[in-house]
């Protein structure tokens, strides 16, 4: 079973019956894009920056997130195809095994918290159901996979705009920088709040505050490392 999705890895297909991008995926992509943009915009010198400097930094932030979004989207497709290939190979292997060997392999593929209460009867039922699957000749990518990749790309790119919009609408660079930082912290807080609610935390506001603090620390660390 996939540790990330909680789906049985013996399935021939992945991401079936779930949204193309789950809430954690969506929020994570927004945070990645936001931190990237804030880091680049933060390199701007408030004291000496002219309009040309601002324009250069804004284009750099957008270009960086365009590149990062493209790489992230492609790697999403690579991961999807890799998982699907492995699942198909594993399913074919399980179908050809003796029941005892198949049960052992299925148990090994299940996460520990699931395997702990899965008995021989359930494992045998899984093995039998595998014989009823209609397996594809070869693994491939589907329309939803490309939609997911496009979604990742757009989320990373769109996360740039709340950071750069103040510099577009305001001529005062110092004021624009302050507003950009405030908007960035607000977005980080909201992202953490949504993650907390998704995880079922009793007080998701704390998760939001923690994410804002963590984001600020990460941005500082990235800048210190020359990012």
215: Cα within 13 Å, side-chain hemisphere? 30
Which token pair is 23? 């809430």
| Domain annotation covers residue 216 | yes
In degrees to the nearest 10, what's the CA dihedral of 147, 150, 152, 154?
Answer: -130
**Structural domain boundaries, residue 90:** 23-224
| Domain annotation covers residue 5 | no
Q: What is the pLDDT along the chain (227 residues), one digit of tens a residue?
A: 333 333 344 444 444 434 567 778 888 888 888 887 887 777 665 545 566 777 777 888 888 889 888 998 999 999 999 999 998 988 888 888 888 888 888 888 888 888 788 888 888 888 888 888 888 888 889 999 999 899 889 988 888 888 888 888 888 877 888 888 888 888 889 988 998 998 888 899 999 999 888 888 877 776 676 55
Cβ atoms within 10 Å, residue 7: 17
| Domain annotation covers residue 6 | no
| Domain annotation covers residue 115 | yes
| Domain annotation covers residue 96 | yes
Count: domains in the chain: 1
| Domain annotation covers residue 10 | no
| Domain annotation covers residue 132 | yes
- Res 107: pLDDT: 87
| Domain annotation covers residue 62 | yes
- Res 32: pLDDT: 81
Nearest to 124 by CA among 96, 101, 108: 101
Which residue's structure tokens are 């395997």? 115
């Amino acid at each position: 079973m996939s540790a990330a999705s909680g789906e049985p890895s013996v399935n021939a297909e992945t991401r079936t019956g779930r949204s193309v991008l789950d809430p954690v995926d969506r929020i994570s992509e927004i945070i990645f894009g936001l931190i990237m943009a804030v880091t680049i915009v933060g390199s701007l010198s408030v004291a000496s920056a002219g309009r040309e400097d601002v324009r250069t930094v804004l284009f750099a932030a957008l270009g960086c997130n365009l590149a990062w979004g493209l790489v992230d989207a492609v790697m999403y497709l690579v991961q999807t195809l890799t998982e699907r290939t492995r699942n198909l190979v594993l399913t074919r292997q399980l179908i050809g095994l003796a029941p005892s060997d198949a049960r052992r392999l299925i148990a090994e593929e299940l996460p520990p918290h699931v395997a702990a209460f899965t008995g021989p009867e359930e494992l045998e039922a899984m093995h039998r159901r595998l014989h009823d699957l209609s397996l594809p000749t070869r693994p491939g990518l589907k329309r939803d996979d490309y939609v997911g990749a496009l979604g990742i790309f757009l989320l990373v790119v769109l996360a740039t705009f709340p950071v750069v919009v103040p510099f577009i609408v305001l001529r005062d660079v110092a004021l624009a920088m302050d507003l950009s930082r405030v908007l960035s912290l607000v977005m980080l807080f909201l992202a953490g709040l949504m993650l907390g609610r998704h995880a079922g935390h009793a007080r998701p506001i704390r998760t939001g505050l923690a994410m804002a603090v963590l984001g600020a620390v990460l941005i500082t660390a990235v800048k210190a490392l020359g990012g």
